[in-house]
Amino acid sequence: MSSPNSPDRFNEDKSTFTVRGGGEAPDLQAGVAAIRNVLDTLPVRPGVYRMQDARGDVLYVGKARALRNRVANYVQVERLTKRLQRMVAQTRSMTIVTTNNEAEALLLESQLIKRYRPAYNVLLRDDKSFPFILLRDDHDFPRVQKHRGARRAKGNYYGPFASAGSVNNTLNALQKLFLLRSCTDSFFKTRDRPCLLYQIKRCSAPCVGRIDAAGYKELVDDAKAFLGGKSTGVQAKLGAQMQAAAENMDFELAALLRDRLRALTFIQGTQAINAEGVGDADIFAMACKDGLIGIQAFFIRGGQNWGHRSFFPQHTNDVPEDEVLTSFLGQFYEEVPPPKQILLDRELPEGALLVEALGDRAGYKVAIQVPQRGDRARLMDQAKRNAIEAIERRQAESTTQAKLLREVADLFDLPEPPNRIEVYDNSHIQGTNAVGAMVVAGPEGFRKGQYRKFNIKNKETTPGDDFGMMREVFTRRFARAQAEDPDRDGGEWPDLVLIDGGKGQLSAARTVLEDLGIEDVNLVGVAKGPDHGREGREVFHMLDGREFQLPVNAPVLFYLQRLRDEVHRFVIGAHRDKRSKAIGASPLDEVPGIGPARKKALLMHFGTGRAVRNASLQDLQQAPGVSAMVAQQVYDFYHSR
């Protein structure tokens, strides 16, 4: 990183530099001084700026058409809102990135907000990527499957869908309608007879030749047409085929086509909204009530409703609604490809800039429109109504949640309702594949992006020792918290810790915290009680030795049970994943330089890992796909110990 005073700190594409101001006290004058120190180095050109506190944590990410002019506004503190004045008071340094144009700055701003999640930016709180349907084309008999994450596999991606449930429903319909396979390639290769999906008429069984490549390709083409919005043509084609089969007295084929037509009719009849004629579009409507902002999104592809979802952006106080929606859209399309048309319920001051930025990212023209009449206006009215209803449901849920947290505070003698609750549990089978887990909850519900798994790896921990496992988990969790956030101002320290277990687990956790010098974390043990495993008879163990049970119909007990059940679900899933990997492990995994392909070649040639270990150097060199150097590595690994 170049010095801010060096002549080459900028280039024609992008330049990044950080300037630090003097003073560490969290006051407004120190923040203004730090920003003034940066102003002298800024060009009048587009870019992105990051404001950072004394520890270097990012407070805010902003974009500008002219960096110097935009940043200069922050030193005029009398014109700033209280929220921005607090931000300036915390600022001690800034990092500047110049860009070629303002559209590029908008894209970079969204990317950095998603990465750093600053405390003063509007945040799209969504920890999961959106699911897609993938119809692969790297096989003679393409597979249809659900997909999340990076789109590396070759094929056609259809989405986004609002939820996994929407994808699963569509996949089930595709299987009934087009009889496409959903099995993995390895499963496909090993079949010698049709599986159950063929028997229940959800697959055409290409694995055993019940359909040839040409016939399967026709099914794939029909599926692509359906997912592309041409369901009417698919329906007409199936109807004609059914009629022809009936006229030819092939009643078995006619019945099969009839069932497929029924599946298509069912799909068309279960659309939550009628989006025929809209094509591909995302619809967004925003509502605001009592300071809470909600955004309702409908995903329309090929005239079909692929689900809807409600979003509640964070950090929206004192932020204009248009700015909230613009920031939301920038972050939303950071990972999701935009459709060619986006329908909004209002004009945005930076709408043209957003269109340019999204078009640059997507590689095709994107239009943002505010529908005034017709089907699009009708859909927008429905989205607005759903946005208002979503806010009302959110407020009702928040009221209930707030009441429960107040009861939790009263129950465990907390000074105020907890903002962060951490719940811990361990899982193992006779000490093997041991894993610990932490789930996090707060006023807004479970914070799944902050869940953590702990592989038990301390050699001093005796296999099967639940107390030792709990000590290891707590040592790693709180030693790291002390190192990364000693002042406890990052929001990552718990107000309440629940431990699945009784006095022993509670004592183990308390010992760890005492050794670390931590004495103010509220610990509570949740044991199964005398009726082992019976719901409602849990015993709560306090640090002062108190034990108590709650009435079986107490709402706060139901809430605490949900927290315990969630950590059970998470830790058992982590344990199963670890156990599955262990089952598939091989002694060859320990040999350096041996990848999956060579490991497979050795196992296919010798049959077992023990045979590989006992093989001579000459035998290893004769294995297909194994070079003399690799054979020497394998031989040396097993015989030089």
Contact 435, 577 (CB under 8 A): no
Contact 636, 609 (CB under 8 A): no
Same fold flag, 15-116 and 281-392: no
Mean pLDDT in residue range 64-76: 93
* Average pLDDT score, the chain: 83
C-beta neighbour count of 258 within 10 angstroms: 16
CATH 3.30.420.340, applies to 421-582: yes
Q: 49 pLDDT exceeds 90?
A: yes
Q: 585 pLDDT exceeds 60?
A: no
Delimit the domains of the chain by residue range. Answer: 15-116, 132-269, 281-392, 421-582, 587-639
Residue 255 or residue 214, greater confidence: 214
Return the pLDDT at 156: 87
Q: Which of 142-156, 167-181, 312-326 has the highest mean predicted lDDT (pLDDT)?
A: 312-326
Residue 35 or residue 163, greater confidence: 35
List of E strands, 528-635: 539-542, 547-548
Contacts for 59 with CB less than 8 Å, ≥ 6 apart? 51, 52, 53, 87, 90, 91, 118, 119, 120
d(CA 346, CA 531): 59
Q: What angle do CA 67, 69, 71 make, to 5 degrees?
A: 65
Q: How many helices (H) and strands (E) does the chain have?
A: 20, 20
Return the pLDDT at 22: 44
Per-residue pLDDT reduced to its tens digit, 112-122: 998 898 989 99
CA 427, 433, 438, 439 dihedral sign is negative
Weakest-pLDDT range from 20-29, 39-48, 141-150, 488-497: 20-29
Per-residue pLDDT reduced to its tens digit, 239-256: 787 888 888 887 877 887
Q: Which two tokens stand for residue 515?
A: 């050794």
Q: 391 pLDDT exceeds 80?
A: yes
CATH 3.40.50.2300, applies to 15-116: no
b/e map 616-641, b = 16+ CB within 10 Å: eeeebbebeebeeebbebbbebeeee
Q: 9 pLDDT exceeds 70?
A: no
Return the pLDDT at 639: 73
Weakest-pLDDT range from 181-195, 254-268, 317-331, 449-463: 254-268
Per-residue pLDDT reduced to its tens digit, 304-320: 778 888 899 988 888 89
d(CA 61, CA 45): 17
Q: 608 pLDDT exceeds 70?
A: yes
Among candidates 524, 527, 546, which has minimal Cα distance to 537?
Answer: 527
Give the HSE-up count for residue 222: Cα atoms under 13 Å, Cβ half-sphere.
23
Per-residue pLDDT reduced to its tens digit, 174-204: 788 888 898 888 888 888 888 888 888 889 9
d(CA 261, CA 274): 19
List of E strands, 473-534: 496-500, 523-527
pLDDT category of residue 359 using cuts at 50, 70 and 90: very high
d(CA 349, CA 343): 15
Q: 434 pLDDT exceeds 90?
A: no
CATH superfamily of 281-392: UvrC, RNAse H endonuclease domain (3.30.420.340)
Return the pLDDT at 385: 92
Residue 173 or residue 287, greater confidence: 287
Candidates 1.10.150.20, 3.30.460.80, 3.40.980.20, 1.10.10.10; correct CATH number of 587-639?
A: 1.10.150.20
